[in-house]
Structure 1
Amino acid sequence: MEAVDLVIIGGGINGAGIAQCASAAGYSVLLLEKSTIAAQTSANSSKLIHGGLRYLESGQLPLVRKSLAERKALLQLAPSLVNPIPFYIPVYENSRRSPWTIRAGLSLYALLSEFDALGQFKSIPSVHWSKIKGLKLQGLKALYQYWDAQTDDKLLTEAVIKNARSLGAQIIEHAKCTTIEQHKGHCKVGYQLVEAAGNNAVTETVQVEALAVINAAGPWVNEVLACVKPQIAAEAIEWVQGSHLLLDIPANDGILYLESCFDQRVIFVMPWNGQTLVGTTETVLEQLSGKPQITEAETDYLLGIYQHYFSEFGDVEALKARVVDSFCGVRVLPKQTGNAFDRPRDTLQKNQASHPNLLSLYGGKLTTYRTTATEVIDWIEQTIGDRQALADFDKLQLE
């Protein structure tokens, strides 16, 4: 039976980042992905590396500060994958957030960025408002511009995996975890190799011994916990779908941060491969089966907001003819009362005394995957001891 220091279950951005960080720290790593790398949520996000300006409204200042620090790091470590991009916030006569509120939020955002170059913001003079093609000018009172960054989430995740492999990590796709047995001081992990053709035919069953196991299966975190022996309690969660629409409309040169005309949320209108990407929604799912699909209600919601601000492209029905693609990502949020939009976005790490060698991750953000990875490595060091480091995680370049 093969033996490794660490088995990671899940090949999304969190699993990839942990594999990279652990390999750099000198641990032997095996990552199991039941499909392919970045096949699910980590390829279907809003494709932003950002501090999360809207999280200021719900008081998540530590998360914003952490995210802004990670934005700065990724711009340096992955300059070909993460690019600065201007954001614009229009404020209208009937906007729920006043110009003063927006200016105060942007000032705090700059402060939390520790006055990084991208922390600067400005008010755009009215003579330049028309440069944002198609934006409704009637009732516009102010237009603010600040900075964040954009990425191709799938390519970023694949780059992290490539780097982890170069440091010795074993990455196995089409490998479904079937059992995790807690023993004294270690776990035995069983997994099945499944044919890539999609018929789920099992080609081989393998067992490996690991000193520590990280459950980074994203929306399927509790499905993995159902394989654990002895049985282990799972956290109560909700699956929240975030959907996006790609429109055959020429893109503006930056991202519009728009207040929804239907509720308290905000959405982004973004350039993506020369076209316009609109997202995202917050739809709670009753079950998770098959590939997530955008609902008719989500389509009407996103197009309704877009049409409210960009009416020259026609009504919602006319805009539906311009939809060239859609995609959905599913994220995990703790089961709570209240609006999903206001829930905490920090990664939750759960470990139980009955299963000391198993750690499960709930939630998290694309932007802060590196912070999640370093926090997990701290737990691994406390659980199984440290190793001779191979590289400095904070200096590993991605390409």
Structure 2
Amino acid sequence: MATVDLLVIGGGINGAGIAQCAAAAGYSVLLLERETIAGQTSANSSKLIHGGLRYLESGQLPLVRKSLAERKALLKLAPSLVNPIPFYIPVYENSRRSPWAIRAGLSLYAMLSDFDALGQFKSVPCVNWSKIKGLKLKGLKAVYQYWDAQTDDKMLTQAVIKSARSLGADVLEYAQCTHIEHLQGHSLVRYQYSSMEQEVEALAVVNAAGPWVNQVLETVSPPIASVPIEWVQGSHLLLDIPANDGILYLESCFDKRVIFVMPWKGRTLIGTTETLLSSLGSQPKVTPEEVNYLLGIYSHYFCCFGDVEVLKTRVLDSFCGVRVLPKQAGKAFDRPRDTILKIQPSHPNLLSLYGGKLTTYRTTATEVLDWLEGTIGKRQTLADFDQLVLD
């Protein structure tokens, strides 16, 4: 029977990062992905590497600081995949967030970036407001410009997997975990691959199955308790409208949420929503309500392109991903976005990941590595994780 130090379940960005980090630290790694690498949530995000300006409103300052540090690191490590891009925040007479509040938030954002070059922001002179193609100017009081970064989320995840493989990690697609028997000091894992049942002995197991994290836990024996979660769908629409040169950070006209209007492959991408799901199907779908919500906000700010019904004829594509949030009171918009690492004393060699952000996948990987070293000991390092270039 094959034996590995670490078995990772899930080939999204977190599973990929953990496999890369552990392989660099000298561990033998097997990653199982039941479909294709980055085939679900990690290919359907807003495609941003950012600190998360809006998280300042809910007091998530440590997360923003960590995310801004990771933005800086990824711009260096993945220069062909992660690119700086200007963001614009228009403030209107009826905006909930006043110009002084936006300026205060951007000042804090700059401070949390340790005054990185991308932490700079400015007020855009009114003579330049018309350069934002199609933006409604009536009632506009101010426009602020700051910086974050954009990526192709699927390509980034695939690049991380490529790096992990180069370091010796074994990555299997269309390999579904069917049973995890947690034993003293290791686990016996069964999985389906190439129409056959396979077995592997793993000294440690990381459950990074994203929205399906609790489904994986249902395969564990002895049984293990799971964290109560909610599935929150985030949807995006691609419109046949020429893109602006930057990203618009817009306050929803329906609620206090924020959406982005982004350039994507020369067209205009709008997102995202936060729709609670009562169940999790194999392939999430954008709902009519989400289409009306996103197009309603777009037509509110870019009225020269027509109303919602006209804009529906311009929808080229749509996609959605599912986030995992801890089950608690309050709206999804205000919930913490930190990754939760869950280990239970009864199953010390099994770690489950809940939630997380694309931007902070590397910090999640290093936190898992700390757990791995404490659980099964260190190995001979092969490479410095913080110096691994992605392409």
**TM-score relative to the length of structure 1:** 0.98
Alpha-carbon deviation of 1:216?
0.1
Partner of 2:150: helix, strand, or coil? Answer: strand
- Superposition CA RMSD, Å: 0.4
- Alignment partner of 2:274 out of 267, 282, 287: 282
Q: Equivalents in 2 of 1:291, 1:245: separation in Å? A: 16
- Alignment partner of 2:298 out of 306, 309, 314: 306
- Alignment partner of 2:217 out of 198, 217, 225: 225
Stretches of structure 1 lacking an aligned partner (at least 5 in a row): 195-202
Alpha-carbon deviation of 1:65?
0.0
Letter in 1 for 2:262: M
Letter in 1 for 2:294: L
Residue by residue, what CA displacement relative to the aligned partner does 1:59-104 show, whole Å, maximum 9, x if unpaired? 0000000000000000000000000000000000000000000000
Q: Equivalents in 1 of 2:296, 2:246: separation in Å? A: 21
Letter in 2 for 1:255: I
Percent of aligned pairs sharing the same letter: 79
Residue by residue, what CA displacement relative to the aligned partner does 1:283-339 show, whole Å, maximum 9, x if unpaired? 000000121100000000000000000000000000000000000000100001110
Q: Equivalents in 1 of 2:189, 2:349: separation in Å? A: 12
Q: Equivalents in 2 of 1:179, 1:62: separation in Å? A: 37
Q: Equivalents in 2 of 1:116, 1:12: separation in Å? A: 29
Partner of 1:6: helix, strand, or coil? Answer: strand
Q: Match of 2:186?
A: 186
Q: Match of 1:293?
A: 285
- Alignment partner of 2:372 out of 372, 375, 380: 380
Partner of 1:269: helix, strand, or coil? Answer: strand
Q: Match of 1:101?
A: 101
Q: For residues 30-109 of structure 1, what are the structure 2 equivalents within 5 Å?
A: 30-109=30-109
**4+ long deviations beyond 4 Å:** none
Q: Equivalents in 2 of 1:20, 1:297: separation in Å? A: 39
Partner of 1:76: helix, strand, or coil? Answer: helix
Q: Equivalents in 1 of 2:18, 2:87: separation in Å? A: 30
Instruction: Establish whether residue 342 from structure 1 lines up as the match of residue 334 from structure 2.
Output: yes
Q: Equivalents in 1 of 2:79, 2:3: separation in Å? A: 36
Q: Equivalents in 1 of 2:30, 2:99: separation in Å? A: 51
Q: Match of 1:112?
A: 112
Instruction: Establish whether residue 395 from structure 1 lines up as the match of residue 387 from structure 2.
Output: yes
Alpha-carbon deviation of 1:262?
0.1
Q: Match of 1:262?
A: 254
Q: Equivalents in 2 of 1:388, 1:279: separation in Å? A: 44
Instruction: Establish whether residue 207 from structure 1 lines up as the match of residue 207 from structure 2.
Output: no
Partner of 1:294: helix, strand, or coil? Answer: coil
Q: Equivalents in 2 of 1:290, 1:59: separation in Å? A: 34
Q: Match of 2:10?
A: 10
Letter in 2 for 1:328: C
Q: Match of 1:168?
A: 168
Q: Equivalents in 2 of 1:183, 1:252: separation in Å? A: 56
Q: Equivalents in 1 of 2:90, 2:304: separation in Å? A: 17
Instruction: Establish whether residue 29 from structure 1 lines up as the match of residue 21 from structure 2.
Output: no
Q: Equivalents in 2 of 1:184, 1:223: separation in Å? A: 23
Stretches of structure 2 lacking an aligned partner (at least 5 in a row): none
Q: Equivalents in 2 of 1:250, 1:230: separation in Å? A: 55
Q: Match of 1:140?
A: 140
Q: Equivalents in 2 of 1:29, 1:355: separation in Å? A: 20
Q: Equivalents in 2 of 1:76, 1:193: separation in Å? A: 37
Alpha-carbon deviation of 1:32?
0.2
Residue by residue, what CA displacement relative to the aligned partner does 1:324-364 show, whole Å, maximum 9, x if unpaired? 00000001000011100010000000000100100000000
Alpha-carbon deviation of 1:193?
1.2
Q: Equivalents in 1 of 2:235, 2:253: separation in Å? A: 17
Partner of 1:398: helix, strand, or coil? Answer: coil
**TM-score relative to the length of structure 2:** 1.00
Residue by residue, what CA displacement relative to the aligned partner does 1:171-196 show, whole Å, maximum 9, x if unpaired? 000000000111110001110015xx
Letter in 2 for 1:353: P
Letter in 1 for 2:20: Q
Q: Equivalents in 2 of 1:35, 1:15: separation in Å? A: 13
